[in-house]
């Protein structure tokens, strides 16, 4: 069910490992299996392949950035749900923006040692000429795996700015569950 873009992004990230396996959450709970992944079990980063980079230079449509988790532990573990993502802005007026979640339903992802899974963040870039109060300039992302309290700190590598909608009920910048 992954899009071609996500598949290409994973291909750029996964060199020696394999992609995670998705199973419906209802089927996963029917039999005992691996326990959930903890932050200490994982490493994280932005997908950097040419097809995975968000188009921050355009301002006419939404674009996607991808964050991946790789199981670096010696055990099989699962991820299910939404990561927590807080963007910290580069401007004094930006502050911290906790991203809203999409309406997509999460699936349980099984990650064997070395497996990688990602999730997408949908962004709405704006022009540099947009008034400062209407734009958010990302600098750092605090990314917390599902059901965890410890986060990864990732520097935003793509530049650009996003339409500031941190108080909106249905913002144009939001995140999808792990595996989407």
Report the DSSP pairing between strands 174-175 and 100-101.
parallel
Read off the pLDDT of residues 38-51 as tens digits, 9 standing for 90 and up: 999 999 999 998 88
Q: How many CB atoms lie within 10 A of CB 40?
A: 10
| Residue partners of 102: CB distance under 8 A and separation at least 6 | 122, 174, 175, 176, 177, 180
Read off φ and ψ for residue 114, nearest 5 degrees. Answer: 85, -10
Cβ burial 93-107 (10 Å sphere, 16+ → b, else e): ebeebebbebeeebb
Contact present, 44 and 69 (Cβ < 8 Å): yes
Tokens of 162: 């996003």
Residues in the chain predicted with pLDDT less than 50, given as ranges, are 1-18, 25-29
Q: What pLDDT is attached to residue 30? A: 52
144 closest CA partner among 33, 34, 13, 40:
40
Tokens of 156: 């935003």
Alpha carbons 162 and 51: distance in angstroms, whole number: 20
Read off the pTM. Answer: 0.81
Q: What pLDDT is attached to residue 19? A: 52
Q: What pLDDT is attached to residue 168? A: 82
Alpha carbons 109 and 23: distance in angstroms, whole number: 6
Q: What pLDDT is attached to residue 21? A: 52
Q: What pLDDT is attached to residue 94? A: 92
Read off the pLDDT of residues 72-104 as tens digits, 9 standing for 90 and up: 999 999 999 999 999 999 998 899 999 999 999
Tokens of 122: 């949908």
């Amino acid at each position: 069910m992954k899009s071609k873009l996500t598949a290409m992004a994973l291909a750029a990230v996964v060199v020696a490992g394999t992609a995670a396996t998705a199973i419906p959450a209802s089927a996963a709970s029917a039999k005992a299996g691996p326990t959930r992944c903890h932050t200490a079990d994982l490493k994280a980063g932005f997908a950097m392949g040419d097809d995975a980079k968000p188009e921050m230079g355009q301002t006419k449509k939404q674009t996607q950035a991808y964050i991946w988790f790789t199981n670096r532990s010696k055990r099989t573990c699962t991820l299910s749900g939404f990561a927590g993502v807080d963007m910290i802005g580069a401007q004094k007026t930006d502050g911290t923006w906790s991203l809203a979640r999409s309406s997509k339903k999460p699936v349980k992802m099984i990650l064997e040692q070395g497996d990688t899974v990602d999730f997408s963040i949908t962004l709405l870039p704006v022009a540099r000429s947009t008034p400062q109060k209407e734009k958010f300039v990302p600098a750092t992302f605090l990314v917390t795996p599902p059901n965890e309290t410890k986060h990864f700190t990732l520097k935003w590598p793509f530049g650009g700015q996003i339409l500031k909608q941190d108080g909106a009920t249905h913002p144009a910048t939001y995140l999808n569950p792990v595996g989407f």
